[in-house]
């Protein structure tokens, strides 16, 4: 099983090609720069009463319902639009983490643990965006009945958010550590 997994990860050594990986990286950076302020605008315009993180990690239907109670129908609609725009943001950051991790990993020797772990990190980049997408499904479901949705939806939503944040944290730590390792490697050469 582990050999089959390693063989499929080895595919990332040249897929997507280095040229395509750079194009994906540039595309994702551009999309991120464009979509982030739009997402921020809609979220701010919705007057959602707490930050994304506070809402996403509440693990409580009652807490989220209390947030919804502070919003009128227009604000709830703007919040719904923000959640839909967030799917474009997920594409931006998922492909950014994927392509950046691959780009960095390929700077290491083929048999190095840094390279192999970079392939895993690239997959985690896509996985974090998928978790975010599932999380948003539950946000959109909660918005169909903002004050009467089943509390379990909020708990499921927060579970996927937690996994997303943990994965993003792992990705950041790996990228920073890998870049520092490359810098030291170049200085010692």
Name the maximum alpha-carbon separation found in the chain.
63
Residue 70 has a CB neighbour count (10 Å cut-off) of 11
> Which pLDDT does position 103 carry in this prediction?
98
Could you tell me the pLDDT band of residue 19, with boundaries at 50, 70 and 90?
very high
**Is residue 31 a contact partner of residue 91, using CB atoms and an 8 Å limit?**
yes
Least confident of 29-33, 49-53, 115-119: 49-53
Task: Check residue 154 and give its pLDDT.
Answer: 98
- Average pLDDT of the chain, as a whole number: 95
- Tokens at 140, concatenated: 């959109």
Residue 175 to residue 105: CA distance in whole angstroms = 9
Residue pair 188/135 in contact (Cβ under 8 Å)? The answer is no
The pLDDT of residue 7 is above 60: no
Q: How many CB atoms lie within 10 A of CB 183?
A: 10
Integer Cα distance of 92 and 27 in angstroms: 8
């Amino acid at each position: 099983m582990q050999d089959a997994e390693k063989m499929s990860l080895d595919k990332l050594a040249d897929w997507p090609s280095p040229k395509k990986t750079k194009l994906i990286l540039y595309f994702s950076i551009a999309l991120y720069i464009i979509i982030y302020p739009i997402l921020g605008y809609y979220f701010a315009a919705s007057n959602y009463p707490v930050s994304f993180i506070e809402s996403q990690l509440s693990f409580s239907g009652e807490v989220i319902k209390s947030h919804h109670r502070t919003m009128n129908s227009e604000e709830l609609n703007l919040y719904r639009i923000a959640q839909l725009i967030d799917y474009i943001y997920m594409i931006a950051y998922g492909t950014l983490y994927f392509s950046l991790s691959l780009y960095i990993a390929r700077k290491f020797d083929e048999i190095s643990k840094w390279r192999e772990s970079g392939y895993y990190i690239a997959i985690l980049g896509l996985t974090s965006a998928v978790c975010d997408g599932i999380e948003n499904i539950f946000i959109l479901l909660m918005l169909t009945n903002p004050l009467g949705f089943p509390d379990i939806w909020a708990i499921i939503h927060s579970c996927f958010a937690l996994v997303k944040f943990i994965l993003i944290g792992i990705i950041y730590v790996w990228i920073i550590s890998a870049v520092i390792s490359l810098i030291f490697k170049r200085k010692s050469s």
